C-alpha cells in the first residue's frame, strides 16, 4: 500500500473529525479556551489527542516491525529503509555524525528542522523535549549536556515512550529518561528545565496556548525555548485546515507567526524570535505533492526566554 494512504486511512478508521476540532482552535483570536462551553471544547480536544496518539502509535509500531508508515519524507512518516530516513534527517539539518551517534532506530526521519542548532546546550543543562518520539533529539541533547546534565523526553504515545526507553537502554544512556504525558500538561516539576526543545510537535496540539503556558511553568528563570515547527506565512484556507492528511502532516494546523508571537508574549516570554527557514520549502513540498502547501506554510526556528525574575 502507498504509505501516504496508510496514514490517511489511519485517521479515517479512528473517526478523525478535523472539521469539528481544528478550525482555528486556541489560536490568538479563538474563544475555545474560555469557560463558556469549555466542557464541550475540552472533550473535543481530548478526542483529537486520542486520534493523534493512535496514528503515532502506528508509526512507532511500523518502525519496530520494519515497515513503512506515513510519507517517508514527511514530518510524521517513517521508512523501513534507513537510507531514506538518513536522507530525510540530513535535509532537516542534522549531520551524518549526528545520526551515527544515536542508537539504531532512534532516527525515524521525523521532524521539520533541527532544534539542536539553536538550543546552545552546555554541560550540566537540564533539557525537556516536548514530543520526544523515539528519542532522537534527546540522545543528541544528552551528548551535549554530558553526565552532569539531564534530559527528559515527554510523549503522549505509550508505544513511542516504550521505543525511546528501549533505545536508551540499548545506547546505555544514564542521563536520559522518558515520561508519558501530554505537552499541554507536562509531568515535570516547576522550574526544572534550562532549555525546552521540540521538533514539529507543538503544531499537532489542539491548544498551543496551553503548551506555551506549561512550558513557561517548567522553565527555570532565564530558561529558553528552542523549537523547530511549521508556521503559516498567510492564513490557510479552510479546506486545508479541515484536511486530515495535512493536519497529520504538520501543515493543516499551522498557526500564523503573529498569532504564535502573541501567544508566547501573553504567557510571559521575552526575546521572542520566529525565523522562517525558506530552504525548508524544498522538503515540505514533498509532504503533500501537488497541493502547493509551500504557498502557505514553512518551517521556522522559534526561540524565546523566560525572564530572569
pLDDT at 230 over 60: yes
Give the pLDDT band (50/70/90) at residue 49.
Answer: low
> How many angstroms separate the Cα of 105 from the Cα of each of 38, 76, 121, 168, 171?
40, 15, 24, 11, 11
Give the pLDDT band (50/70/90) at residue 70.
Answer: very low
Instruction: Count other Cβ atoms within 10 Å, centred on residue 187.
Output: 11
Determine the pLDDT at residue 169: 96
Distance CA 138, CA 151 (A): 6
Distance CA 263, CA 208 (A): 8
Q: Tens of pLDDT along 86-130?
A: 566 777 889 889 989 999 888 877 889 999 999 999 999 999 999
DSSP lists the bridge partners of residue 185 as 182
Number of domains in the chain: 1
- Beta strand pairing call for 126-130 and 193-199: parallel
Determine the pLDDT at residue 28: 45
Instruction: Count other Cβ atoms within 10 Å, centred on residue 246.
Output: 23
φ, ψ dihedrals at 188, nearest 5°: -140, 140
What cell was used for 140? Answer: 543528541
Instruction: Count other Cβ atoms within 10 Å, centred on residue 124.
Output: 12
User: Nearest to residue 72, comparing CAs of 61, 88, 60, 58?
Assistant: 88
Determine the pLDDT at residue 88: 66
CA–CA–CA angle 175, 167, 225 (5° rounding): 55
SS (H, E, C) 234-274: CCCCHHHHCCHHHHHCCCCCCCEHHHHHHHHHHHCCEEEEE
Q: Which domain holds residue 182?
A: 3-305
End-to-end CA distance of the chain: 55
CATH code, 14? 3.40.50.150
131: alpha, beta or left? (left if phi > 0; alpha if psi -120 to 50): left
What cell was used for 45? Answer: 480536544
DSSP 172-221: T-SSEEEEE-BTTB-SS-TT-EEEEEEES-GGG-S-HHHHHHHHHHHEEE
What average pLDDT does the chain have? 81
Q: Tens of pLDDT along 173-189?
A: 999 999 999 999 999 99
Give the pLDDT band (50/70/90) at residue 250.
Answer: confident
Instruction: Count other Cβ atoms within 10 Å, centred on residue 170.
Output: 12
Q: What percent of the chain has pLDDT over 70?
A: 73
Q: Tens of pLDDT along 281-303?
A: 989 998 888 899 999 999 999 99
Amino acid at each position: 500500500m502507498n504509505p501516504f494512504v496508510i496514514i490517511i486511512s489511519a485517521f479515517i478508521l479512528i473517526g478523525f473529525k478535523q472539521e469539528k476540532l481544528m478550525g482555528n482552535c486556541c489560536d490568538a483570536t479563538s474563544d475555545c479556551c474560555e469557560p463558556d462551553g469549555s466542557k464541550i471544547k475540552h472533550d473535543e480536544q481530548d478526542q483529537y489527542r486520542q486520534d493523534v496518539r493512535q496514528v503515532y502509535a502506528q508509526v512507532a509500531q511500523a518502525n519496530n516491525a520494519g515497515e513503512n508508515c506515513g510519507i517517508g519524507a514527511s514530518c510524521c512518516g517513517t521508512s523501513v529503509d534507513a537510507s531514506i530516513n538518513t536522507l530525510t534527517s540530513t535535509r532537516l539539518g542534522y549531520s551524518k555524525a549526528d545520526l551515527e551517534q544515536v542508537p539504531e532506530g532512534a532516527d525515524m526521519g521525523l521532524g521539520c528542522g533541527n532544534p539542536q542548532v539553536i538550543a546552545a546546550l552546555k554541560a550540566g543543562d537540564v533539557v525537556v523535549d516536548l514530543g520526544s518520539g523515539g528519542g532522537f533529539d534527546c540522545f543528541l541533547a544528552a551528548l551535549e549536556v554530558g553526565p552532569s546534565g539531564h534530559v527528559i523526553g515527554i510523549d503522549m504515545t505509550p508505544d513511542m515512550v516504550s521505543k525511546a526507553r528501549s533505545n536508551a537502554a540499548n545506547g546505555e544512556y544514564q542521563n536520559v529518561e522518558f515520561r508519558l504525558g501530554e505537552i499541554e500538561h507536562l509531568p515535570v516539576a516547576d522550574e526544572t528545565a534550562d532549555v525546552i526543545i521540540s521538533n514539529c510537535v507543538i503544531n499537532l496540539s489542539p491548544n498551543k496556548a496551553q503548551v506555551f503556558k506549561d512550558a513557561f511553568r517548567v522553565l527555570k528563570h532565564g530558561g529558553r525555548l528552542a523549537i523547530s515547527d511549521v508556521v503559516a506565512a498567510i492564513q490557510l484556507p479552510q479546506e486545508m485546515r479541515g484536511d486530515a492528511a495535512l493536519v497529520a502532516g504538520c501543515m493543516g494546523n499551522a498557526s500564523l507567526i503573529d498569532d504564535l508571537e502573541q501567544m508566547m508574549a501573553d504567557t510571559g516570554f521575552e526575546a521572542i524570535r520566529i525565523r522562517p527557514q525558506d530552504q525548508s520549502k524544498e522538503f515540505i513540498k514533498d509532504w503533500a505533492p501537488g497541493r502547493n502547501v509551500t504557498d502557505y506554510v514553512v518551517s521556522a526556528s522559534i526561540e524565546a526566554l523566560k525572564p530572569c525574575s
